[in-house]
Structure 1
């Protein structure tokens, strides 16, 4: 039986944050790498994807899927620097499910990869093909891996993912704002009993009133959801770019008192449920 694992290549929200205050938790934006035996599934292509691409490009060429939670800049800015995407020995199927209109993933990538914004056009991504689905669908893979999806509450839409593999489960719930009763109920059902839940903990409860409608949640709501839904290991994620390592240490200590086993996402962290 192949082991399920998740590696975090970027854990920061909104914008990369290099500097002395973010060295321990990391400053790269969202990028996840699932592994199940020889299978790889990537989720999001923020700035953390650059380093992942270097590692993948040093290995033999392969086929894999790249799923996007949504297409805000911090989740797609790594694609122009993701070297396997330019190498047609690889085969990368890029997916998105959050579009409410006739927009397509390729349309969005073409916007950021066009002069004068960027000098290399999207058609140079020779390894990449683009596909859409609808949030709430299950994406059939045929390799023993079930990938379920759920709509999240975020400006412009976003998709959460749940990967189940031989009785183990990992959920990705970012970017998401609590407070929509219908969506919250669906998310609670979606994450129920999960071994690991990555959760958007951009703010604290004390900060949240200033940012209502911005599309993000709090670490307290993440812990509350995990306790209610029987999630074994909530992982606080999408750190505010202003948040220092010391502040994240304090949040982690407080969260673990409420839900022992809670983790604060750290760049390079590998989770094996």
Structure 2
């Protein structure tokens, strides 16, 4: 089904590391990473965490579906929803799937296939009857989907990760999750990727206090903090910052407190919530 022209971002999974359902995560959501961008009549999907299952249920009302799926990397919280993505099992749908080659040489096709092999899953990827088209990307690649420009860049994460910059009619959204800031400088790759973006979706799994906790530090774990998100946003001239990839231990009340602190120093900021829809100003 063809989408109406425009530029809208919708959040289907905003949690990091592992799904976190329960009474304390109702408002922000417990599903892992999945963000949809509807751009110029095309549907772009970023990452396939458990939020992808929810998106898939929604898409059953709109078939046939053609969508472009972009993976940052293949840690479980970014691919674990793919085997439960019902539209992929339906003949007549088409999914263009993009991702970088892993350091061990595995393509995204191989990694999505591997998680559906015995003994990890009961049925192989071959039972998916939709048309799955796979493409390899390399950090730094730039591609066009009609009038949409998609730039990629390397992120600082164990076993690598890749960020995406989506631009249409002079407006830009950047998806940069699973990246760790550097202690002594702003990441030049991220600075370039996020330059003058309308919206920056950034991995701020921790607070500075958690990141530097002397008893349980998170240094080297591959994630960043909301304080570093704001530092990057200011340096790159970003208009709106979205704090993303919430720690599974962060409750709704805790995240409310984080949002208040974030807005105090960068008013045009928001914490990602499942179901949140952000129009990109045109």
From 234, 243, 246, the counterpart of 1:236 = 243
Question: Are residues 1:211 and 2:218 paired?
Answer: yes
Partner residue, 2:46:
43
| Residues 129 and 2 of structure 1: CA distance in aligned 2, closer, same or farther (over 3 Å) | closer
Question: Are residues 1:29 and 2:32 paired?
Answer: yes
Aligned partners of 1:238, 1:208: CA distance in 2, in Å?
Answer: 15
Q: Which runs of 4+ in 1 moved over 6 A?
A: 180-183
Question: Structure 1, residues 172-213: CA drift from partner, whole Å, max 9, x if none?
Answer: 010100017798112112101101000001001011130111
Q: Higher helix fraction: Structure 1 or Structure 2?
A: 1
Q: Which moved more, 1:35-44 or 1:1-10?
A: 1-10
For 1:178-257, list aligned pairs within 5 A. 178-179=181-182, 184-209=187-212, 210-257=217-264
Partner residue, 2:141:
137
From 157, 173, 176, the counterpart of 2:179 = 176
Per-residue deviation, 1:140: 2.4
Q: Which runs of 5+ in 2 are unaligned?
A: none
Name the SS of the counterpart of 1:246 in structure 2: helix
Contact 1:151/1:183, CA 8 A, preserved across alignment: no
Question: Are residues 1:267 and 2:274 paired?
Answer: yes
Aligned partners of 2:110, 2:129: CA distance in 1, in Å?
Answer: 16
Q: How many residues align?
A: 272
Name the SS of the counterpart of 1:253 in structure 2: helix
| Residues 148 and 94 of structure 1: CA distance in aligned 2, closer, same or farther (over 3 Å) | same
TM-score normalised by L of structure 2:
0.93
Per-residue deviation, 1:60: 2.5
Aligned partners of 1:92, 1:182: CA distance in 2, in Å?
Answer: 38
Contact 1:233/1:262, CA 8 A, preserved across alignment: yes
Aligned partners of 1:23, 1:83: CA distance in 2, in Å?
Answer: 24
Aligned partners of 1:98, 1:214: CA distance in 2, in Å?
Answer: 21
Q: Which runs of 5+ in 1 are unaligned?
A: none
Question: Structure 1, residues 222-242: CA drift from partner, whole Å, max 9, x if none?
Answer: 011111111110000000000
For 1:152-163, list aligned pairs within 5 A. 152-163=155-166
Aligned partners of 1:182, 1:73: CA distance in 2, in Å?
Answer: 29
Aligned partners of 1:62, 1:9: CA distance in 2, in Å?
Answer: 17
Aligned partners of 2:186, 2:233: CA distance in 1, in Å?
Answer: 16
RMSD, matched Cα: 1.5
